[in-house]
Amino acid sequence: MPGGMQMHSLVAGAIGSVNPFVKATLRRSTGYTTNADFTRTPTYEDTPLFVQVQALASEELRQVEGLNLQGNKTAVYLSGRWNGLVRAGKQGGDMLKFHGKVWLVAIVLEDWPRWTKLAVVEQNGS
């Protein structure tokens, strides 16, 4: 078993007692619908879940800033695997809703069989 996966399993409960898990909705992009005027409206599949929100480490901030994304950025841990943006697979545009705000999944920072760490960017007016 990879060390990161074992370590997370061991410390998740302790971390949760200091930094509680937050109720969230994962809005997985399912594509779009084309309207009568030929504009497109994004479509999503919503899944309720719990996430843990933490600050991005300095090297992660540099990685996200390299994507030229403006706005508030944070790290989110969630159970299971998540793919994020994969242009070749036509995946992307996933959102998370928590703390009354909408966050765009910018990049997968860590991907393990039982959990994923994402960098997310707050969306204006969402």
- Please state the rounded mean pLDDT for residues 34-49: 93
| More confident of the two residues 4 and 37 | 37
The domains of the chain are located at 3-33+40-122
Residue 10 has a pLDDT of 54
Split at pLDDT 50, 70, 90, the class of 29 is confident
Q: Residue 35 and residue 77: Cα distance in Å, rounded? A: 35
Query: Tokens 């719990």 identify what position?
Result: 50
* Percent above pLDDT 90 for the chain: 37
* Of the candidate ranges 9-23, 51-65, 102-116, the one whose mean pLDDT is the lowest: 9-23
DSSP, res 56: P
CATH 2.30.30 fits 3-33+40-122, yes or no: no
pLDDT of residue 87: 45
- Residue 118 to residue 98: CA distance in whole angstroms: 14
Chain centroid, CA 61 distance in Å: 15
> For 1-5, 112-116, 119-123, which range has the lowest pLDDT when averaged over its residues?
1-5
Report long-range pairs for 2-5 (Cβ below 8 Å, ≥24 apart).
Answer: 2/112, 4/110, 4/112, 5/112, 5/113, 5/114, 5/115
pTM of the model: 0.75
Q: Mean pLDDT over all residues of the chain?
A: 80
